[in-house]
Structure 1
Amino acid sequence: MKKVIVGLSGGVDSSVALYLLQQAGYEVEALFMRNWDSNLNNDILGNQQINDIICPQEVDYQDAKAVSEKLGAPIHRVDFIKEYWDYVFTHFIAEYKQGRTPNPDILCNKYIKFDFFLKTALEQYHGDYIAMGHYARVRYNEELQEYQLLRGVDTTKDQSYFLCQLSQAQLAKTLFPLGDLTKREVRAMAEQLGLATATKKDSTGICFIGERDFKKFLENYIPNQVGDIVDIETNEVLGQHSGVMYYTIGQRRGLNLGGMAEAYFVVGKNVAKNILYIANSSEDQWLYSTSCLVNDTNWINQLQTNNFTCTAKFRYRQKDIPVSVEILSPTSCLVRFAEKVKAITPGQSAVFYQDEVCLGGGVIDTAYLDDTKLWYL
């Protein structure tokens, strides 16, 4: 009998994943990850006092324990706090300091859930596979002799976007029991089983850190840096910001412009000069681009050509956008859009698809309008 180690988070999705694996005939054990510890992170910061709140991981663990006991599966705990700090959070903060907008969930999947967790599950707990509660699918293509990452059938919950950095080796050892189900079906199954997590709210916010006032959270790690808010068209200083890293491209709220009648939105940042650029004219002029450079690309499958067409998402839940891809190097590509795309943001992830198959993804470096670099990004 094959043994599967399930990443049991204390949420409804991983709870049902564990049950489905038992029903499929696997020997199943649960492993609860603890990846964030406010007190330890204070020590890493040199014992400085920070305005942080403790993530309710103990509540999650108790929920996970209740599910494992209900289903008769052994549960273990493991800490990846230092690994999360070293491989995910330091990069997250470094990107924000550069005025970019990173996606920590993608790095968390790449390094924590499907690397350190995978190794621990296979080596320490002698599993044959790991499983997670993601809405995605894995398929082995006999003709190509490769594993493929597929979207989950529930298009409103598909999480393949966050798995774009996975490798063949990782996919070969991973099961996604929820890939063919909808969220509604998962909830109904949990309620029917009487699981403690059946009606639990879905987790949101930063991976393993949770929901909180994001600006205040960032202020703990990146001190305020007051600078000018400048109208990009008139070069007039309209106000003051507390740090360009706290703002995102296209943002309209929280600009603190003193009740000005015009509706302004963020169009760019100059980190070196600490300037936040805003505009109140046409979005077409400032927020749209026609291509972008993507670095740190990971291709899950062997590419057959250096030039191809596919679709892409530049944000989670965004509709698929037709694009053409030109491979520049093993880790970079130029992506051209069939039509102008709004708010292509450096630091965010571009993820590529061929129908249901996720080809991989990378990090947006630079946006262009008609082959001209958008200088204000």
Structure 2
Amino acid sequence: MSQRVVLGLSGGVDSAVAAYMLKKQGYDVICVFMRNWDSQLNNDILGNPTNNDPVCSQEMDYNDAKAVADALGLELKRVDFIKEYWDHVFTYFLDEYGKGRTPNPDILCNKEIKFKAFLQYAEELDADYIATGHYARVEHRDGDDVMLRGVDGNKDQTYFLCQLNQHQLKKSLFPIGELTKPEVRQIAHDLHLPVADKKDSTGICFIGERDFREFLKNYIPAKPGKIVDYATKKVIGEHQGIMYYTIGQRRGLEIGGKGGPWFVIGKEYDQNILYVASGDSNQWLLSDEALITGVNWISSTKPEGDFDCTAKFRYRQKDNDVSIRFINEDTIYVTFKKPIKAVTPGQAAVFYDGEVCLGGGTIDKVYHNNKELEYL
């Protein structure tokens, strides 16, 4: 009897080819489309009768998923995780933005929805495994299960999977992890799949592509405030809400003609101040140490003492040589071998040993020359 795999079929080309690969390998495949966002329902939760949030593209994605399932002769189910997404992902996303930090909801979405709520649903269907269209690989071993980078270095998504635990990995398959994106596209074309040329999705996990500032205004009222030159402490402009700006940002500050060029170096949430600077950005944005909290270490054993590895402090960043040391169960102190630019509190730090993704956590504090960069 073949093993049963429940696949998250999103309506995109990656999960479509993943479905084909699983069927080709002889698995009993059930496809599931996850619906995790409802603009009107989420607006009602806030008690806000005015909704400027446009209709999400999920219905179009569902239709694409149905067309793929039909083309491959597979069953497609539909399941709602709207409440779970709101409770465990979106409220955190709003809280962090409200504090002036820049969170990564995709990481939490994978942890709480795609590999938790979805896994629980799949287990109710007597699934042996769940599968997704992520560019990652997993080695199922007798001891620890290990997550490896996807073969396609340009598409590797282990950064977003750094919070998965041993149970989640043990039950997961990544059918396209050994393929490159061009190979995935070619397979979809060879099979005449209706999504072969569908563009890759971008934007917030499950919420999709939209005007980000307008979207946030539905949930966090815009609060204009002062733009301050950190060096002189002089007010040089007005921002539209500190949640809209990221560390290192140069465009969209609307303070041209006042010296510069200017770039964002920090935020003071309590005073609603956006700090900017001009000149050599390295003076303000370089750091050499960081404190990482909420760390998920994928292996069941943690390194003792100082451990050399590499780290990414944002997606698509090149690997940085670092040394890490656990200071308690879920907190790591990181020392950079060379200073790194724009390491930003609220964003994710993910650690690697060669091809192996070790885990990751949230950047909490950043230091330079033994001094905390408090303006971050």
**TM-score, with length taken from structure 1:** 0.98
Is the 2:137–2:149 contact (alpha carbons within 8 Å) kept by the matching residues of 1?
yes
Shift of 1:246: 1.1
SS in 1 for 2:167: helix
For residues 222 and 51 of structure 2, the distance between their equivalents in structure 1, rounded to whole angstroms, comes to 13
Please list, as runs of the form range in 1=range in 2, the aligned pairs for 1:144-223 lying within 5 A after superposition. 145-223=143-221
| C-alpha displacement of 1:119 | 0.5
Partner Cα separation in structure 1 for residue 343 and residue 280 of structure 2: 16
C-alpha distance in 2, partners of 1:308/1:254? 40
2:100 maps to 99
Letter in 2 for 1:178: I
Q: Are 2:236 and 2:258, in contact at CA under 8 Å, matched by a contact in 1?
A: no
Aligned residue in 2 for 1:256? 254
Counterpart of 1:328 in structure 2 is 327
Amino acid at match of 1:85: W
The CA deviation at 1:304 is: 3.5
SS in 1 for 2:140: strand
CA contact (8 A) 2:242 2:267 kept: yes
Equivalent residues of 2:40, 2:51 under 8 A apart: no
Q: Structure 1 unaligned runs (5+)? A: none
CA distance in 1, matches of 2:206, 2:326: 34
TM-score by length of 2: 0.98
Aligned pair 1:227/2:225, yes or no? yes
**1:1-377 correspondence runs (5 A):** 1-123=2-124, 125-142=125-142, 145-301=143-299, 302-377=301-376
**2-structure distance, mates of 1:306, 1:350:** 19
> Does the 8 Å contact 2:287/2:366 carry over to 1?
yes
In the alignment, the residues of structure 2 paired with residue 22 and residue 307 of structure 1 have an alpha-carbon distance, to the nearest angstrom, of: 45
Q: Is the 8 A contact 2:324 2:335 kept in 1?
A: yes
Report the alpha carbon displacement of residue 127 of structure 1 after superposing the two structures with TM.
Answer: 1.2
C-alpha separation between the residues in 1 aligned to 2:344 and 2:303? 28
How many residues were matched structurally? 374
C-alpha separation between the residues in 1 aligned to 2:214 and 2:206? 17
Matched-pair contact (CA < 8 Å) for 2:130–2:173: yes
Cα offsets for 1:108-167 (capped at 9, x unmatched): 0000000000000111x221110000000001345xx11001000000000000000000
Give the letter aligned to residue 245 of structure 1: M
Cα separation, 1, equivalents of 2:183 and 2:93: 34
Query: C-alpha separation between the residues in 2 aligned to 1:69 and 1:141?
Result: 35
Gaps of 5+ in 2: none
Range moving further from structure 2, 222-231 or 30-39: 222-231
Q: Is the 8 A contact 2:287 2:341 kept in 1?
A: yes
Shift of 1:234: 1.0
Q: Which amino acid aligns with 1:280?
A: S
Q: Output the CA distance in 1 between the equivalents of 2:271 and 2:259.
A: 27
Counterpart CA distance in 2 for 1:237 and 1:261 is 13
Superposed displacement of residue 235, structure 1: 1.0
User: For 2:334 and 2:260, how far apart are their aligned partners in 1?
Assistant: 34
Q: Which letter does structure 2 place at the counterpart of 1:208?
A: F
Report the identity percentage.
Answer: 59
More displaced 10-residue stretch of structure 1: 226-235 or 87-96: 226-235
RMSD between aligned alpha carbons? Answer: 0.9
- Which amino acid in 1 is paired with 2:360? G
Question: Residue deviations 1:183-208, cap 9 Å, x none?
Answer: 00000000110001100000000000
Q: What is the CA deviation profile of residues 347-375 of structure 1, one whole-angstrom value per residue up to 9, with x for unaligned ones?
A: 10000000000000000001100121001
Q: Secondary structure of the residue that 2:220 maps to in structure 1?
A: coil
One-letter amino acid of the counterpart of residue 330, structure 1? E
- Residue type matched to 1:210 in 2? G
Q: Counterpart of 2:145 in 1: which secondary structure?
A: strand
The whole-number CA distance in structure 2 between the counterparts of 1:140 and 1:63 is 32
CA shift digits 1:288-333 (9 cap, x unpaired): 1001100000000022323201000000010000000010111111
**In structure 2, what is the Cα distance between the partners aligned to 1:214 and 1:288?**
28
Q: Offset at 1:262?
A: 2.3
Q: Distance between the aligned counterparts of 2:164 and 2:297, measured in 1?
A: 9
Secondary structure of the residue aligned to 2:177 is: coil
Cα distance, 1:259 vs structure 2 = 4.0
- 1:261 Cα deviation after fit: 4.8
1: CA distance, partners of 2:15 / 2:41: 27
Give the letter aligned to residue 63 of structure 2: Q
CA distance, structure 2, for counterparts of residue 117 and residue 290 of structure 1: 39
Distance 1:340 1:369 in 2: 8
